[in-house]
Structure 1
Amino acid sequence: MPLPSVFRNNDSGTFGYHTAHVRWPILVGNAIDDLQAELSTLDAGSEAYVQGRAIEKELAALREEILNDGVIRPFSEEEVRVAEIPGSFNEVVSSYAQTWLTGGWLFCEVYLYRRINVLFRARSGWRDFDIFNRVKQATFQSSTLGVVELANRYRQLKSQLDSANPESLQLLFKEFVDISLWGNATDLSLLTNATLEDIQSLQGAEARKNSEAKILVNDTERAWAHLQNAQQGRVDFVLDNSGFEVYADLMLALFLLDTGVTKKCIFHAKDIPYMVSDCLIKDFHLMLEDMKSPSFFDLQNLPQGRGALDFLVAAIESRVASGAIEFVQDSFWTTDLDYWHLDPSETKYHGAEIHADFRNSDLVIFKGDLNYRKLTGDRKWPRTTRWATAIGPLASNGINTLSLRTCKADVVVGLAPGVDGQLCELWKRERKDEPPSWWASSGKYAVICYCDGQQ
């Protein structure tokens, strides 16, 4: 049976079509604005300023290239050299012609961030500059209340974890998974008062029920059951966003470590500024510095904030120092390759090496929408397709995987019959100006998908 085709930028009525035609030009325009803000801090006679102005012109040209549906061109030998661009991009470009507004959505989107990155890597004064740093920092700063609330809750919970019974630990696992899943949209009532009695109470059950209503596939219990019999003592996180989201991922990691569920958590970050908000290793270190800073967060009306943040930073840094938390990066995560290539058969771009490494992990948690798209190949699967079918080789090549994804793109699988139709009808009533299928791109729904790698 042939595989479904991938989503393309000229698929009318899809979120991919809207992204390519509307969102990408805005994204590049925002990058120009942020570059201009940085240039305003430099001496107009400096070499860095001159180089920055050249980058500004090239970003403007890239924006016009997208708007005018230009041809997707290969990277030059010089671009490949200075920006260490994996050869997989040019292999695709040379195999068939694509344009910005007709090409494959996933490929063109990943290619776009490589095109942006090469402009900076080619200039000595900008080689290590993160064009998305301003927006990442501003977004994290806007999460002050959530950051402090979760730090307070975890500080209160930590002393109770040693005496927690198995039922309480499973409930806490579900709630930390939910927090990691929703990120900034987390319902902080999940950990209200943060005592084990509260979590097991009727009110706690009601909060969980409300939170889980928008989770259309929920394999959390299967993942927990697997971790109870885990042998390797290791959990991996393939990261999505920086800021509050990686902060929430670290909370889940601390819970797993502090309860002895695992002994080590490895976080896999991106190696270039990517998808605007994706997490680099430097973003993790910057997050800790932000939390230590006396001025980054406005704590004037949060009297317990300083103590809670100091507690959590100390807890994280202690785990980093002991080796229990580790951040790593690999260029595989920023190639165009989907995760069907996380397999011994992929020997050119680190897919086989990462697969072999993940065989040593009890659970690999893939965070966010882009990772879900790569897991499924960003293909036009019927929305009732089995998860094990949509992830291809990963269903059977020996890796235990868990995908935590708020739905922000067209591809969704694993739904019960009738659910997609019901949500399309609901969306049609609520959003008359949008295609009904856009419920799947709204970020209002989520899926938690587990596979034991033995299908």
Structure 2
Amino acid sequence: MAAQAGLQGVPEPLSAKYTGSFAFFTVKDRLPTILTKVIDTIHRNKNAFFKQHGEEGIKAEKGAIAILSKLRNELQTDKPVLPLTDGRVDMDMWNQYMQRQQALLGDSEPPSWFKSSWLYVECYMYRRIQEAIHLNPPISDYDAFRDGKVQSFFESQQAIMAICTYLCGVHKNIDDLSEEQLLEHFIKLLQVSLWGNKCDLSISAGQENSQKSSPLDSLGALKPFILVDDTSMVWPVLMNSRVAAGPVQSAARVVYVLDNAGFELITDLVLADYLVASKLASEIHFHGKSLPWFVSDTTRKDFDWTIKQTLAANHMWMSKCGVRWKSYLKDGTWSYHDHPFWTLPHEFCDMAADAPDLYALLQKADLIIFKGDLNYRKLTSDRKWDHTVSFKKALRGFHPAPLCSLRTLKADVQVGLQAGQGETLMAADPNWMTSGKYAVIQFCSALQND
């Protein structure tokens, strides 16, 4: 297993019982809170289930709640994690991973909630939520997080209108822009996408966390909070592809690994639109989740719904963006993908061995953009790295293509800082790693030195 603890020079994973500023809170408090909200949401929808499915819907609602209530008790009382039984396509991979964890601990019993890695048990809880729903037809495809994602989208309307208006303004003379002007717009929209990652419902335990004002107005004030900014390394990858493409060849193929639905997804679509319109990219391959995940992560339904809502908006520039995005999907310039690996607990350094088909797909990219905190945790194996360890070293051999991580800090892992930078931040703000106040734009190419 590529992600084994105890390898030379590789620190231990963050534990579920780690007493840092975030992880222990995750297992002992925030995860039960999320479970309780899921149970309440399913219960509140029982009339809708009855209307759609009759008594079978009520039976399914009660069945799902019973399983989730048992899960909450297991979590709070440090019971062993249990094998999955729902028969979904990823079930065997999950159960094999549990056996790996058991072998690492050297126990005869399966690992328990508090004795496992933080990343594993957090992902496991969300997968068990989906199992509880899947085992109770006819509500097997119900998304208990959908209402929150929809609310986040509509409560961010002013901000969405602002960035759509900006994008459409750029479109008007985009073919006449100089390289300097192209770079200026790229920097703005990259940072808009970066700070869009603050809108994360899993961190707020499902509480409202939308973007109310135009993000463009605050970029200057937020710039000092970008702890690592590798934009100058990302730009040549795109620009060199654009120049090399000429009139015949295609520009860069970009893979965009999504995080949250709602406002953040809009910021990602706006950036992707700009990359295509400016000929910095010829195709964008979006990757999202195949299951409702981490409260607000993007699924295919969220992706399609967002474009449909944008297209139908009673705002000229939003609607124009929606029309253009629909056409990108229709002609293949944009495409959406999901893969079971994105909702497994595996560190990304395991991908080549455990999901070689996905790894091979990523290798075709000229640039991969990873959004958000969970992707960063998986990129860096969610371990107790020293803050000055290089981003490349923390990737532990995961180099399918040049990659860029856009992330606001919400977990106790961060690499690639300058000597003393972490200590200075800790002295000024003990919660700097978990508040979402700070961010990074980190780039890595396999050609870089550690």
TM-score by length of 2: 0.87
Q: Which residue of 2 aligns with 1:393?
A: 397
Paired residue for 1:173?
Answer: 186
Matched residues in 2 for 1:170 and 1:99: separation? 50
1:75, CA displacement in angstroms?
2.2
Q: Using a 3 Å threshold, how does the CA distance of structure 1 residues 127 and 82 change in structure 2: closer, same or farther? A: farther
Q: Secondary structure at the residue paired with 2:97? A: helix
Q: State the alpha-carbon separation in 1 of the partners of residues 405 and 89 from structure 2.
A: 34
Please name the residue that 2:238 is paired with: 227
Residue 448 of structure 1 aligns to a residue whose secondary structure is strand
Q: Establish whether residue 91 from structure 1 lines up as the match of residue 84 from structure 2.
A: no
CA contact (8 A) 2:288 2:298 kept: yes
SS in 1 for 2:292: coil
Secondary structure of 1:441's counterpart equals: coil
Q: 1:213 aligns with which of 178, 201, 224?
A: 224
State the 1:84 CA deviation.
4.3
Which residue of 2 is the match for residue 41 of structure 1?
Answer: 48
Instruction: For residue 293 of structure 1, report the CA deviation from its aligned partner.
Output: 4.5
Secondary structure, counterpart of 1:7 in structure 2: coil
Shift in alpha-carbon separation, 1:409–1:108, aligned structure 2, 3 A: same
For structure 1, which runs of at least 5 residues remain unmatched after alignment? 193-206, 295-304, 428-435
Q: Say if 1:385 and 1:415, in contact at 8 Å, map to a contact too.
A: yes
2:197/2:371 contact within 8 Å kept = no
Shift of the 187–453 alpha-carbon distance from structure 1 to 2, 3 Å rule, reads farther
Q: Is the 8 A contact 2:159 2:215 kept in 1?
A: no
Please tell me whether residue 449 in structure 1 is matched to residue 442 in structure 2: yes
Matched, 1:109 2:128: no
Deviation at 1:40, TM superposition (A): 2.9
CA distance in 2, matches of 1:190, 1:289: 23
CA distance in 1, matches of 2:98, 2:238: 41
Paired amino acid for 2:412: D
Partner letter of residue 148 of structure 2? Answer: V
Q: Name 1:243's counterpart in structure 2.
A: 262
Instruction: State the AA in 2 paired with 1:130.
Output: D
Could you say which residue in structure 2 is the equivalent of 1:433?
Answer: none
Aligned runs of 1:172-191 on 2, under 5 Å? 172-183=185-196, 191=216
| Residues in 1 aligned to 2:212 and 2:63: alpha-carbon distance in whole angstroms | 45
Given that 1:74 and 1:93 are in contact with CA atoms closer than 8 Å, whether structure 2 keeps it comes out as no
Q: CA 1:72–1:398 in 2, change beyond 3 Å: closer, same or farther?
A: closer
Count the aligned residue pairs. Answer: 413
2: CA distance, partners of 1:191 / 1:209: 8
Indicate conservation of the 8 Å contact 1:269/1:327, yes or no: yes
CA distance in 1, matches of 2:277, 2:332: 14
Q: C-alpha deviations, 1:369-420, integer Å up to 9, x for none? A: 00000000000000111111111102xx451100001000000011111111
- Is the contact between residue 6 and residue 377 of structure 1 (CA under 8 Å) also seen in structure 2? yes
Question: Against the structure 1 CA distance between its residues 184 and 89, is the aligned structure 2 distance closer, same or farther, given a 3 Å change threshold?
Answer: closer
- 1:213 is matched by which residue type in structure 2? P
The superposition leaves residues 408-452 of structure 1 with CA deviations (integer Å, 9 ceiling, x where unpaired) of 00000111111111111111xxxxxxxx2x310110000111011
Q: Which residue number corresponds to residue 298 of structure 1?
A: none
- Residue identity opposite 1:391 in structure 2: L
Seq. identity, %: 31
**1:138 corresponds to which of 118, 140, 151:** 151
SS of 1:308's equivalent in the other structure is helix
* Change over 3 Å in CA distance of 1:34–1:112 after alignment to 2: same
Letter of the structure 2 residue corresponding to residue 36 of structure 1: H
Moved more, 122-131 or 269-278: 122-131
Q: Residue 276 of structure 2 aligns to a residue in which SS?
A: helix
SS of equivalent to 2:111: coil
1:56 paired to 2:49 = no
- Which amino acid is the alignment partner of residue 99 of structure 1? S
CA distance in 1, matches of 2:48, 2:87: 30
Residue of structure 2 in register with 1:13 after alignment: 20
The aligned residue for residue 430 of structure 1 is: none
Q: Does 1:32 align with 2:39?
A: yes
Q: Is the 8 A contact 2:123 2:343 kept in 1?
A: yes
Alignment of 1:288-299 (within 5 A): 288-293=307-312
- Cα distance, 1:83 vs. partner? 6.8
CA contact (8 A) 1:235 1:361 kept: yes
Distance in 1, Cα, partners of 2:310 & 2:403: 31
Secondary structure class of the residue paired with 1:222: helix
Deviation at 1:81, TM superposition (A): 4.7
| Match among 425, 428, 433 for residue 427 of structure 2 | 425
